[in-house]
Amino acid sequence: MKKKSFVILLLMMLCLSSCKSEVKEYRMEGISALEKGDAKKALEDFNLALEKSKGSVGSLQFDILSYKAEAEIHLGKLSEAEEDLQNVETLSGKNYQKLKDRIAAKKLVYSAGEALNQNDLEKARNCLDEAKEKGLSADRDMEYNEAVYLEKTGEWQKAYDAFTQYLNRYPEDENASRELQFLENRVKALEGNTALSEQNGE
């Protein structure tokens, strides 16, 4: 009987060890995907890591939840990120201010996008600057809005360069491709017009 109990205990320990190993593996894969800019895959990996945790709650799970929130911020899933952040703060007793600032900054970027659609350039500029002050950088939506802002303020060459750089990273963006084509014509017209070139500081 004792031998049987020992075998069962050993199997349980092996199972727990295997599960923890899978959790760490998915966590590392998620971090790697996040660093490469693939937030969608990162989120999938972090969800799998939490699933493999089988209800375990500890420092490892807190860490995974915080990374999951970061992936959700990148994907614009701000409500989900806020919920995950609230959960991890409640469970861990820690304050994740940096991630909360990231969420606030991302909201400002979206506000900037809305302002640009309404041609409220002053509000757009203020929102983008405030988002930067909160530490947001290397953000796709911010990069796109910055390029649009340059276009709407008549900075044709700078806007062309910004969209070119953006499309080097996100070549699948059809809207940006159309903007770049439009700007290419503007830049060519600018190059052929001395007065306009001088007005634009060239």
pLDDT, one tens digit per residue, over 135-180 is: 888 889 999 999 999 999 999 999 999 999 999 989 999 999 999 9
Least confident of 42-46, 51-55, 103-107: 51-55
Is 63 strand, coil or helix? helix
pLDDT at residue 90 tops 70: yes
Q: What pLDDT score was predicted for residue 53?
A: 83
Smallest CA-to-CA distance from 71 within 95, 94, 48, 90 is with 48
Give 196's contacts (C-beta < 8 A, 6+ positions apart).
Answer: 189, 190
Distance CA 28, CA 33 (A): 9
Question: Tens digits of per-residue pLDDT, 64-81?
Answer: 999 999 999 999 999 999
Give 120's contacts (C-beta < 8 A, 6+ positions apart).
Answer: none
Q: What pLDDT score was predicted for residue 37?
A: 84
